[in-house]
């Protein structure tokens, strides 16, 4: 009976500290980002505080790509005021989550910050993406010259034709391009360039374009998954009047 009592007392002595550790309050970890969207190649700051104070201790900065697992980017030492700050330069486009973890101590349980999301955009050559509908026999893709100025990754279209791009899943929010009459068009060609959504809702119009004029720069917002380019080429010969879109690019989080 005496031996059983001693064994029970020893077991209780081991169990009580374990229960205390399990019941310990967790560290509180805050996290904020200096910007919620950014272009690829730029940097942002992730910063926050751990409480109660854990000065001199470390936190892990973690990243998660869409559909992926959490990965530790860097370990930072907390300052004398229990704060951290890290500059992050994303290496790929897309929507990315970040969080910060303070490991458990002898008196506190692990603390994990709320997730912070940063959307990373990049400019993509539109001509490098497969277009979804057009009359391919009259769509020229490649180099373009407008009043002698060279534009790579371009395309030209003639009167009565169009070309569509389906941007579904690419999360694009802007489009930029140069617009003018292709130097290969017959001398004296004039026209108007239209950019619409695929349902023909008008996005941009460039009127009174003329052969020999410099190309016009256009930057427009996108709010749909489809975009269409439609020229109206007039005198003197619509069949030989090429309207060019120089180096078009779309700003996408993909």
Which of 90, 121, 152 terminates a domain? The answer is 121
Q: Please check whether residues 86 and 195 belong to one and the same domain.
A: no
Q: Please check whether residues 37 and 142 belong to one and the same domain.
A: no
Residue 9 CA to residue 16 CA, distance in Å, equals 11
What's 154's domain CATH number? 2.60.120.1060
Residue 33 has a pLDDT of: 98
Question: Which DSSP state fits 134?
Answer: E
What is the bridge-based pairing of β-strands 111-112 and 94-102? Answer: antiparallel
User: What tens digit of pLDDT does each residue of 169-183 get?
Assistant: 899 999 999 999 999
Q: Please check whether residues 109 and 139 belong to one and the same domain.
A: no
Q: Please check whether residues 100 and 198 belong to one and the same domain.
A: no
Section 21-45 average pLDDT: 91
Q: Please check whether residues 62 and 174 belong to one and the same domain.
A: no
Which of 121, 142, 170 terminates a domain? The answer is 121
Nearest 5°: phi and psi at 91? -105, 0
Q: Please check whether residues 106 and 136 belong to one and the same domain.
A: no
pLDDT level of residue 134 (50, 70, 90 thresholds):
low
**Helices assigned H by DSSP within the chain:** 2-22
Give the largest Cα separation in the chain, rounded. 114
Is 31's pLDDT higher than 70? yes
Q: Please check whether residues 143 and 227 belong to one and the same domain.
A: yes
Section 46-69 average pLDDT: 97
**Helices assigned H by DSSP within 88-209:** none
Is 145's pLDDT higher than 80? yes
Which of 89, 121, 153 terminates a domain? The answer is 121
More confident position, 237 or 217:
217
Residue 24 has a pLDDT of: 79
Q: Please check whether residues 6 and 114 belong to one and the same domain.
A: yes
Q: Please check whether residues 149 and 244 belong to one and the same domain.
A: yes
Q: Please check whether residues 97 and 164 belong to one and the same domain.
A: no
What's 31's domain CATH number? 2.60.40.10
Q: Please check whether residues 172 and 99 belong to one and the same domain.
A: no
Is 248's pLDDT higher than 50? yes
Is 16's pLDDT higher than 70? no
Residue 244 has a pLDDT of: 93
Would you give the distance in Å from CA 150 to the centre of its chain? 28
Residue 199 has a pLDDT of: 80
Residue 59 CA to residue 44 CA, distance in Å, equals 18
Q: Please check whether residues 104 and 159 belong to one and the same domain.
A: no
- The domain of 214 spans 129-252
The total number of structural domains in the chain stands at: 2
């Amino acid at each position: 009976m005496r031996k059983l009592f001693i064994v029970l007392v020893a077991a209780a002595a081991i169990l009580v500290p374990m229960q205390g550790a399990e019941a310990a309050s967790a560290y509180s970890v805050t996290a904020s980002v200096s910007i919620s969207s950014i272009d690829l190649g730029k940097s942002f700051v992730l910063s926050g505080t751990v409480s109660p104070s854990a000065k001199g201790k470390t936190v892990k900065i973690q990243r998660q790509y869409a559909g992926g697992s959490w990965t530790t980017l860097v370990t930072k030492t907390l300052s004398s005021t229990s704060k951290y700050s890290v500059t992050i330069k994303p290496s790929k486009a897309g929507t990315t989550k970040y969080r910060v973890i303070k490991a458990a101590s002898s008196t506190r349980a692990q603390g994990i910050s709320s997730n912070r999301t940063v959307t990373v955009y990049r400019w993509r050559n539109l001509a490098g993406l497969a277009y979804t509908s057009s009359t391919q026999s009259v769509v020229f893709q490649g180099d373009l010259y407008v009043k002698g100025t060279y534009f790579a990754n371009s395309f030209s279209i003639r009167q009565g034709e169009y070309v569509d791009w389906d941007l579904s899943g690419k999360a694009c929010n802007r489009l930029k391009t140069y617009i003018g009459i292709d130097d290969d068009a017959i001398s004296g060609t004039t026209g108007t360039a239209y950019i619409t959504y695929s349902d023909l809702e008008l996005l941009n119009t460039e009127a009174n374009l003329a052969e020999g004029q410099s190309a016009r720069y256009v930057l427009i917002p996108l709010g749909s998954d489809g975009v269409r380019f439609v020229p109206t080429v007039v005198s003197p010969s619509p069949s030989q009047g090429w309207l060019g879109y120089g180096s078009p690019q779309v700003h996408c989080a993909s």
